[in-house]
Amino acid sequence: MWPTIRPLLKPAVDCSNGCYEIDDVLEDLRFGKQELWVDCEPENTRQINAAMTTMFDQYPRKKTLKVVFVGGRRMKKWLPEFIELVERYAQRNGAQMLEGFFRPGWARVWPGARISGVGLVKDL
């Protein structure tokens, strides 16, 4: 799947201020440092619409699930389900907050999220 996922995530990775290259994401996935989420067409699972990576972080007073990278096409089709799944996953694993760094427009499409500095956070 990586040859199809790579170009979906690369634009987000390219905005990481040099902290990541796309091959670093693949290594993190291989070693379990990040989790991969994929939206496929039901009738053709080879047709991937979106990909997202997440990772848990434990602060002294809160456990969070960070959305590290996300990219895709046809956002209106997959985003509501992605949000619901990721939020439930975070809660089931003891996270009290969801966080990530996004373009400002994400504040309009992630219900309940608020802008905090340059990132979006949502209490769970």
Stretch 41-57: mean pLDDT, rounded? 86
| Exposure string over 52-61, b if 16+ CB within 10 A, otherwise e | bbbebeeeee
What per-residue confidence (pLDDT) applies to 116?
Answer: 55
Q: Give the pLDDT confidence of 20-33 residue by residue, as tens digits.
A: 999 999 999 999 99
- 75 against 12, higher pLDDT: 12
Predicted confidence band of residue 92 (pLDDT cuts 50, 70, 90): very high
Model confidence at 43: pLDDT above 90:
no
Model confidence at 93: pLDDT above 60:
yes
Stretch 49-55: mean pLDDT, rounded? 94
Structure tokens given for 101:
């760094």
Q: What DSSP string runs through 52-108?
A: EEEEEEE-SS-EEEEEEEEEES-HHHHHHHHHHHHHHHHHHTT-SEEEE---TTHHH
Domains of the chain: 2-123 (3.40.630.30)
Q: Give the pLDDT confidence of 110-123 residue by residue, as tens digits.
A: 677 666 545 556 78
Average model confidence (pLDDT) across the chain: 86
What per-residue confidence (pLDDT) applies to 31?
Answer: 97
